[in-house]
Amino acid sequence: MYGGIYSFSLRRATIQNFFHSYSNALGRFEDTSYTLNDINYAMQLGQKIKALSPEPVTENYKLELDLNEISFSKAHYINYNQLSRIRRALQFLNQARSSPQLLVKISFYVLVLECLFSANDATEINHKISERVAIYVGVNGEEKYKLFKFVKKVYGIRSKYVHGQMMDKKLSENAILSEISKELDELVRIVLLKVILVDSANFLLKDEALTEWFNSSLFK
């Protein structure tokens, strides 16, 4: 999906609007066609997200808007600590979609999962996230175990990348990374849709309550 820039005047202010260029799961920039139903569904999801978790901005942004002196985009003024867990996850998703570099894309996809399934855990984070994702999405024991191993693998890729370490030779091949990114993209989509449409109340809980909910799901 390609993008561009347009601007318009608001009294004395000129506001630039950026249409982001998003790459697909394989890191390619390609034209994408959507049906009217696709667009309506996306708009409904957007309204659902907005209702669940309003996006906070600081007073500085509102002041600049009033004074017609906007010098940064709205994103510059967002207070990260005021973002809900779901909003933070969607920010990471946006970064994943924006990058064509597969290791960057994979790393931000993993951050989406870590944001949703880590309730300020201090130890065994990789294991806990992998376990929680597997239980949340998997429909049977075999699928849960497969998901558990997959999330552990991509978490390992993310850890090596963000710490500047070399990848294993096999995982440095573009074809392999493309397949991993494609599978991870699908997993993140399934997770986010379920979180937003089914379990949003739980994922908006405070850390302690969310941890309790995760723990209780182990015995269902």
pLDDT in tens, 139-166: 999 999 999 999 999 999 999 999 999 9
**Which residue range(s) make up the domain with 64?**
5-217
Q: What is the distance between the alpha carbons of residues 188 and 192, in angstroms, rounded to a whole number?
A: 6
Predicted TM-score (pTM) of this structure: 0.82
Query: Average pLDDT for residues 177-189, to the nearest whole number?
Result: 97
Query: Average pLDDT for residues 91-119, to the nearest whole number?
Result: 95
User: What is the C-alpha end-to-end distance of the chain, expressed in Å?
Assistant: 42
Percentage of residues in the chain having pLDDT higher than 70: 80
More confident residue, 49 or 69: 49
Number of domains in the chain: 1
Q: What is the distance between the alpha carbons of residues 3 and 110, in angstroms, rounded to a whole number?
A: 26
The yes-or-no verdict on residue 195 having pLDDT over 50 is yes
Query: Average pLDDT for residues 165-180, to the nearest whole number?
Result: 90
